[in-house]
Structure 1
Amino acid sequence: MVDEKLGAGVPHSSIDLYAPAQLLDPWEGYRQLRELGSIAWLTDLQMYAFTGYAEAKRALTNWQTFSSASGVMMNETMNQVLRGNTLCSDGERHAAQRRVIIDPLTPRALQPLKPQIDSMAKELVDDLVMRKTFDAVTDLAQHLPVNIVANLVGLPEEGRSQMLVWATQMFNCFGPDNERTRASMPVLEEMVEYATTQAVPGKLKPGSWAEAVHHAAARGVIDPSACPALMIDYMGPSLDTTISAIASAVYLFAEHPDQWDAVRGNAELIPSAINEVLRMESPIQGWSRYLLQDAVFGDATLPAGSRALILWGAANRDPVKYPDPDRFDVRRNPIDHLGFGAGPHACLGMNLAKMEIGAVLEALIARVERFEISGSPERALNHVLRGFNRLEVTVH
């Protein structure tokens, strides 16, 4: 029986990765798990935890063994709800859907948007610098993703204002079957209802990304029944992850002014700085995979039928991969970080995210010498996302 094999050959840990204190400050817990080994068995969740970079990347790039088709969440309710969308599918079905979703998100397709994004970022930063003190989350980080994505996806106006709430609660629903997950489920139901009844032909903006998904279904490229789930692909991950990354960048530069000086002195460091922000503060801390067959790691065999929690946030601070991993260094340029995942399920919107983050940093470089955290930052309590609810800063 599979149950007899679970956890054999790897260290066991009773750490609760989804306790509030751990979610708000995960690094010590990750360190404790990593000291046990790059893979550990979580007795509470009955899952394996991958904290080593090499092991995490191997899992993320091998869908034949570490499958997403059975869902990537830590509870079976959500695994059933989103089964079949790009996040929770594999093989040719996944590839066909991914081609449709990613078509407007390739670097070439996004290039015509760059002047508009740069202009919006400059106008926004100019306004905020005049105010001097502002919330780096609501006033800065949310502006571009909400305005750019909502318009390009082409969703009906009714419901757009709820996109941020829906996306945040959707990620909370990815956690284990606990009170926080269950409390978020009704909000997710609203999101699914909107995707099913409102994000449909006739209500979508002509020429929009969402309309293109329905056109692909009409041509037989994808199964029409997948359309609501694919709408959620656009409505959720495209917003919160970018917002989290922009706010985290401001926080890190406020805490490390020497690194801001380095970027201000050499704008060519912006791509490297973005990679380092994503490594240090991975917006997605991780989700799971289902093992379709046994996987051997050293002396341990992880059995088919088990589930592995791939902790991107922990892997990105693995000292075996990144020396002095807790040091923020904009010159490190960790181009192989796992902040966007890896393999066939790597983040669909990474190119747009990097364009938006880069535009904000370029605009800030021109106007800001220093960030000063004005109040007490409020971390967001979320099962998957790492970010802030509030980050008040004063710029100089």
Structure 2
Amino acid sequence: MTATTGVRPSLPTFDIDPFSHEVLADPHPHEALLRDAGPLVYLSTYDVYAIARHEHVNAALRDWQGFQSGAGVGLSNFRTGKIWRPLSVVIEADPPHHDAPRRVLAELLSARSQRRLRTEWTVAAESMVDSLLGGRRVVEFDAVPSLAEAFPLRVFPDAVGIPEAGREHLLPFSDFLLNAFGPRNDLVVAGAVGARERSVWVNAHCEREALAEGGFGARIWAAADRGDITHEQAPLVVRSLFAAGVNTTVHALASMLYALATHPGQWERLRAEPELVHVALDEAVRWASPVQSFFRTTTGDVRVGDATIPDGEKVLLSVGAANRDPRRWAAPDAFDLSRDPSGHVGFGFGVHQCVGQHLARLEAECLLTALVERVASIELVGPGRRRLNNTIRAWDSLPVRVRTAGPGHAA
């Protein structure tokens, strides 16, 4: 984790391993080192460049012509190496190949879909929270399986049209894919156990016959029937929902609940100003960055600051570092609901910006509103436990105690 000299003598060079357990468990000190070193640094451990300042991460995300996704958004460079895993037709394709699948998903996940889903997701959130509280005055539970996982795993697969049987495959399937964006380390090896079984289940449920009529999945196949995408692309577009539609939302919700449980003043403010539920998820995504990093590959000589990255080089874009950059944010390490977090890059930016981000916000709004209306306080009652992942900053467990609000709750 020290600065070195060597292969790239004109750049600040570090032997930091961003995928080590140490860094994954506590990335902030290492992110600060990279930011402070300059607009562009070199990571000798993996022979890659890295960008950590908000200004330059944002610019790289918008510059799909110079920083391509089609060579893989993980560490592997598929311009020069064998393609050893399926590539996403959405996040690992560039225009024009990216355009048709993106248009189909954007239409499916539009504001019109949100209006249709809001009522049923509100009812689902209220029912889940009421059942969890059980009319008691003080309740202790683990917020990860009980809320952050349970709510998305109920409402989003319903919207896609996935049957209930087998949904337990969704999180570990996505977790393994996101791990695979990093090096083939022990996290990838551990996640590979059962990966084939999960992949078989997922692939089978991307087919037309497995998807409920009227859901997002069936509508993707209908788009193929209209010629908006090909029939070969249809199951791959459905698969992209399986891969990204639950996992990132789960960990964004967990980050939000952790932030509120550890910042009682912000919870009180949220109860006094419930309209701030619209801010809470975005501030949590900025503050915690559930998606920590993605890679790009240069398509020519690309200038960053005063330095140039040669053609065909892998570049790590540190989303987590950018979202806590003091050059962009005042008091960036504070979780603050009075902040406008709208410039964060936690959902990406540009043509590859997360197409489902508005549905993630809707899930957070429905769940958080149900909690705010019923819970007077929330606090941790034990240390949380992290789930280490090469791409996602995740929680495995968050034991919390809540005190319910208003009359009608038993002692």
TM tier, smaller: over 0.9
1:246–1:84 CA distance, 2 compared to 1 (3 A): closer
| 1:108 partnered with 2:127 | no
Residue aligning to 1:230 = 237
Q: Is the 8 A contact 2:292 2:320 kept in 1?
A: yes
Residue 201 of structure 1 corresponds to 208
Unmatched runs of 5 consecutive residues or more in structure 1: none
The secondary structure found in structure 2 opposite 1:93 is: coil
CA contact (8 A) 2:283 2:336 kept: yes
Partner residue in 1 for 2:97: 93
Deviation at 1:133, TM superposition (A): 0.8
CA-to-partner distance for each residue in 1:54-79, whole Å, 9 max, x for gaps? 10011101111100111101135896
The structure 1 residue matched to 2:346, chosen from 339, 344, 349, is 339
1:323 aligns with 2:330: yes
For residue 314 of structure 1, what is the aligned residue in structure 2? Answer: 321
Residue-by-residue CA offset, 1:242-273 (whole Å, 9 max, x unaligned): 11111111111111111111111111222222
Q: CA deviation at 1:25?
A: 1.1
In 2, Cα distance between the equivalents of 1:377 and 1:48?
33
Instruction: State the Cα distance separating 1:6 from its structure 2 match.
Output: 7.0
CA distance in 2, matches of 1:61, 1:33: 21
1:128 to 125, 128, 132: 132
Q: Which residue does the alignment assign to 1:22?
A: 23
CA deviation after TM superposition for structure 1 residue 329, in Å:
0.7
User: Which of 265, 285, 291 is residue 258 of structure 1 equivalent to?
Assistant: 265
When you count helix as a share of all residues, which structure comes out higher? 1
Show the 5 A alignment for 1:285-324: 285-324=292-331
Does the Cα contact within 8 Å between 2:172 and 2:191 map onto a contact in 1? no
Aligned to 2:169: 162
Equivalent-residue separation in structure 1 for 2:304 and 2:238 (angstroms): 37
Q: Which amino acid is the alignment partner of residue 200 of structure 1?
A: E
Q: Indicate if the aligned counterparts of 1:166 and 1:187 stay in contact, CA closer than 8 A.
A: no
How many residues get paired? 392
The CA distance in 2 between the partners of 1:39 and 1:332, in whole Å, is 28
Query: Following the alignment from structure 2 to structure 1, what is the Cα–Cα distance between the partners of residues 8 and 361?
Result: 38
Q: CA deviation at 1:153?
A: 1.1
Residues 83 and 286 of structure 1: CA distance in aligned 2, closer, same or farther (over 3 Å): same
Q: What does 1:173-252 align with in structure 2 at a 5 Å threshold?
A: 173-185=180-192, 187-252=194-259
1:215–1:165 CA distance, 2 compared to 1 (3 A): same
Q: 2:369 aligns with which of 348, 353, 362?
A: 362
Contact 2:206 2:239 in 1 (8 A): no
The residue type paired with residue 58 of structure 2 is K
AA aligned opposite 1:59:
A
Indicate the RMSD between aligned Cα atoms, in angstroms.
2.0
Give the TM-score of the pair, scaled to structure 2. 0.90
Structure 1 range deviating more: 155-164 or 82-91: 155-164
* In 1, Cα distance between equivalents of 2:197 and 2:41: 37
Q: Which moved more, 1:50-59 or 1:203-212?
A: 203-212
Report the AA paired with residue 276 of structure 2: L
Secondary structure, in 3 states, of the residue corresponding to 1:69? coil
Residue 6 to residue 295, structure 1, CA distance change in 2 (3 Å)? farther
State the SS of the aligned residue for 2:224: helix
- Consecutive unaligned residues of structure 2, counting only runs of 5 or more, are 1-5, 404-411
